[in-house]
Homo-oligomer: A and B are copies of this chain.
Amino acid sequence: MEISNDLRDRSLSILNEFLRLESVSAGNSCINETASYLKDLLNDLGINSEIRRSTGNPVVIGRIDSRSRRIIIYNHYDVQPADPLDEWKTDPFNPRMIGKRLYARGVSDNKGTLIARLIGIYQALKDKIPVSTTFLYEGEEEIGSPNLENFIKSNKNIINGDSLIMEGGTLMGSRPVISLGVKGLLYIELSYEIGSSDVHSSMAPVVENPAMEIIKAISALSDGTDITIPGFYKDIRNLTEDEINIIKEYPVDMENIKRSLGVDNLKKEGSYEYAMSLFTEPTFNIDGFSSGYSGKGSKTIIPKRAVAKIDMRLVPDQDPNSIYRNILYKLDSVHFKGTVKMLGAEYPVRTSPDGDLSRAMIESAETVYKIRPVIIINSPGTQPMGLFTRYLKIKDAVSAIGVGDEHSRAHAPNESIDIDNFFLAIKHTYEFIKMYYH
C-alpha cells in the first residue's frame, strides 16, 4: 500500500482535530464531546457506530460486518492530565510539528495509534478488502479501566470476535514490537493495626509490632527468591520450542537497560537469562511498605500500624483468583491476624506465535517496516487483555501496531511521535488486514 497525498492530508487533519479534544479522564473534561466526535468520525468513514453507556464513561463501538471472522480493535479516547504544564514546550492540546515530530498530549498514548489503525482499515474497506471489525473505544483506560469488565460482560453479543488487538504497540529503534500476550496481575494489600496510637518501644516485650507481623506474613508468601504461596507454580504453562526461540532472539543491551532504568545492578547477567526471566517469570514485588517513623535519626516507638502493597505478575495459566485464595489460606495457617485486601486481578494471556493473528501481524510488520519486528511472547507488564480472552472466549490476542518510540514520553510533558511512524502504522494495519484475510 502507498498512502496517497489525499489520505495523508485527511488522516493528519483528523489526528490534529482529535488531539485538540482535552479528553482527560482524570479531570472528566470533554469526555462526552470526544465520544461524540469519534462516533461521527466512524460514521463519516463509512463505519456503523454508536455510543454505548457503561457504568462509567461512554464507550464508542464501531462495526464492520463483511466477513465471518472478526477482529476486535481496542483503543481508548481518554488521555493523561497534561500537567506539569510549564514543562511543555508547546501547548499540549494544540498539536505542533517540530521537525518530524508531532507534539501533543495523547499523541503516542494512544490517539495516534487509534487514528492510524482506523485509517488503515478505512483504506482497506475502500480497496474492497473484506473485513469484519469491532472497534471498542473506552474512555477510562488512563484511570485504570474500572468499568471495562462490567461493560464486556454485559455486551458480549456486540463485542464477540475471533481475535483482538489491544492498544499497545511501540517501536524499539526502527523495529516494531509485537507482544503475543500479557502477564496477569494480582495486587494485594496487607495491613496490621495494634491500636489507636504509637506506643513507646520500651513496651515491645508485651505489645505486638505491626511491621514485624507484616514481615512475617510476607515471609510466609515469599523467601525473596521463590514464591511460597501453595500451588503458585503448578499451573504455569510450558514454553514451546518456538517461544523459547523468540526469547532467544530478544535484543538485550544490559548497560543501556541499567542506564534507562537508573539502577546500578540487574539480577540477571546473561542476555538469554535476562530475557527468559523478564518474560516467563511470575513475580512477587513489594510496591510499598509503610510503618512508623522513617525520618532522620531515631525515634523509639512501636508503630500503631503497618501496611504493605504487593503485586504479583502472573504468567499463563496462573489464575489470580485461585492464587488469592491460596494466599488467604497460607496467611491463615501462619496465624496472620491482619487484614488482606485484593486491589486488582488480571488474567495472563499468551497467544501462539503460529496462530493466524500472530503470523499475519509479524509478516505484515516485516513487509511494512522492512525489518524483523521484536517479538515478545507476552509483555512483562499487564493490560486488561484477559477480560476479552476470558469473557469472550477469544483465543488470539496481541498488542501491536502503535506509533510511539523510546522518545515518546507517554504520560509525561512533551509527549510526541515521529510522524513517519504514524504513516507506517496506517500501512501496517492495512497490510495486516490483507494478510489476515488472505
> Which A residues contact B (CB, under 8 angstroms)?
183, 185, 187, 189, 194-197, 199-209, 211-213, 215-216, 218-219, 222-224, 261-268, 274, 277-278, 281, 283-294, 297-304, 306-309, 311, 313, 343-344, 379-382
Give the most central of A206, A208, A261, A284: most B CB within 10 Å: A206
Chain B residue at minimal CB-CB distance from A382: B202
Q: How far is the CA of A297 from the CA of B188 in the complex (A)?
A: 10
Contact, CB under 8 Å: A206 / B294: no
On chain B, the residues within 8 Å of A268 by CB distance are: 205-206
- Report the nearest B residue to A293, measured CB to CB: B288
Docked complex Cα distance between A304 and B262 (Å): 9
Choose from B200, B313, B343 the contact partner of A204 (Cβ within 8 Å). Answer: B313
Smallest distance from the beta carbon of A36 to chain B beta carbons, Å? Answer: 30
B283 and A288 within 8 A (CB): no
Alpha-carbon separation in the docked complex, A78 to B373 (Å): 72
Flag if B202 contacts A263 (CB, 8 Å): no
Residue pair A344, B289 in contact (C-beta under 8 Å): no
Q: Which residues does chain B contribute within 8 Å of A267, judged by CB atoms? A: 205-208
Chain B residue with minimal CB distance to A337? B265
| Alpha-carbon separation in the docked complex, A297 to B288 (Å) | 11
Which chain B residues border A203 with CB–CB below 8 Å? 261, 278, 380
Given A202-B380, A208-B267; 11 other pairs, CB 8 A cutoff: A195-B262, A199-B261, A199-B263, A201-B283, A201-B311, A201-B313, A203-B261, A207-B261, A207-B267, A211-B308, A300-B381
- Whole-angstrom CA separation of A299 from B283 in the bound complex: 15
Asked if A287 contacts B261 (CB within 8 A), the reply is no
A336 to chain B, nearest CB (A): 11
Report the Cα distance A219→B224, complex, angstroms: 11
A313:B224 contact, CB within 8 angstroms: no
Q: Is the CB of A202 within 8 A of B224?
A: no
Partner of A278, one of B205, B261, B264, B291: B205
Question: Which residues of chain B have C-beta atoms less than 8 A from A308's C-beta?
Answer: 211
Do A290 and B289 touch (CB < 8 A)? Answer: yes
CB-defined contacts of A294 to chain B, threshold 8 Å: 288-290, 307, 309
A309:B283 contact, CB within 8 angstroms: no
Q: Are B212 and A224 in contact (CB under 8 A)?
A: yes
With A202-B382, A263-B207, A278-B206 as given contacts, are A287 and B283 in contact (CB-CB < 8 Å)?
A: no
Cβ contact within 8 Å between A287 and B299: yes
A348 → chain B closest CB, angstroms: 12
User: How far is A17 from B201 in the complex, measured between Cα atoms in Å?
Assistant: 35
Q: Are B289 and A306 in contact (CB under 8 A)?
A: yes
In the bound complex, residues from chain B placing their C-beta under 8 Å from that of A194 are 263-265
Q: Is B199 within 8 A of A262, CB to CB?
A: yes
CB distance from A436 to the nearest CB of B (A): 28
Give which listed residue, B277, B288, B290, B382, contacts A205 with CB less than 8 A. B277
Residue of B nearest to A218 (CB): B215
In the assembled complex, the CB of A215 is this many whole angstroms from the nearest CB of chain B, namely: 5
Q: Are A289 and B286 in touch, CB under 8 angstroms?
A: no
Q: How far is the CA of A183 from the CA of B194 in the complex (A)?
A: 24
In the complex, how many angstroms separate the beta carbon of A15 from the nearest chain B beta carbon? 28
Q: Residue A195 contacts which of B204, B264, B381, B382 (CB distance < 8 angstroms)?
A: B264
* Given known A307-B294, A311-B201, contact A206–B274 (CB-CB < 8 A): yes
From B283, B284, B289, B382, give the contact of A289 (CB < 8 A).
B289
Residues of B with C-beta under 8 A to A285: 201, 204, 209, 212, 300, 302
A213 and B224 within 8 A (CB) = yes
Q: What residues of B have a CB within 8 angstroms of the CB of A264 in the complex?
A: 194-195
Which residues of chain B are near A286, meaning CB under 8 Å? Answer: 209, 211-212, 215, 291-292, 303
